[in-house]
Structure 1
Amino acid sequence: MFKQFLQAEAVDVLQLDACRVAGVTENVAILLLAARFGVPVCPHADGVGLCEVVQHLAMFDYVAVSGSVQDRVIEYIDHLHEHFVDPVTVRDGRYAAPTAPGMSAELRSESLAAHRYPDGPVWRNVRNADV
């Protein structure tokens, strides 16, 4: 639908939700379409792990599409990064370039174990509080 929105000049800023589209290839296609139509992209990053994922989109946009940080912004929510193996880093108000391969969405094994439903300690504590 992004193509139709862009063709109709219906968006001034495209707010892409990287985890709701069909993977890396579609994310890249959307970035390229937005560039073709001269529309800046502001990836949506208000959720668990979205900051970790969209940092790669911004880096790809900068390196391979726009070559600029002009008119480029990304949401940043400062919570739950401690649960990721390679959490996002922000320096001087900008996302730092990722330092590890992959999408940075790998959760720490300790976090997975603690939040495993229904027997992880987090859920056991919730159930015990309800009793």
Structure 2
Amino acid sequence: MTRPRYIIQESDYFVAYKYLTRRAQVDGIRWLDVSVVDRDNGEVSQDVLDRVFYCCDAEQLNEWAARYLNSDQWRKLKQSIRNARRRAPGKSIEVSWDAWVLLRDESQKMGMTYSELIIEVLESRMYDE
């Protein structure tokens, strides 16, 4: 069993699941490294690959990946997760230091994210006019 260098987080579950199931569908059993597959009985079977489809949370996906992926496959999975994070929806804005300090302090006090705070303040101004 290859030891994972990365632990799939719940927030990354859907990206990891999509990546692994896609590999399973496209490449089939040849995608898995024969040296790490099903050491219990020495067989490489479609059942081993199909088990990934039944992983319903990050913990199960981690267990499957730890057992059946080699280091190169882990590296590619991790890269896929990183790429998905970079493509995540959202926009960046540049603010002055003073504006950032105000946002940080107020958002902590209100228990909100920066986005939630900005929206609330702007919406309240719109409705006050």
Shorter-chain TM-score above 0.5: no
Relative to total residues, which structure has the larger helix share, 1 or 2? 2
TM-score tier, shorter chain, comes to under 0.3
Q: Normalized against structure 1, the TM-score is what?
A: 0.26
More relative contact order in 1 or in 2 (CA 8 Å, sep 6+)? Answer: 2
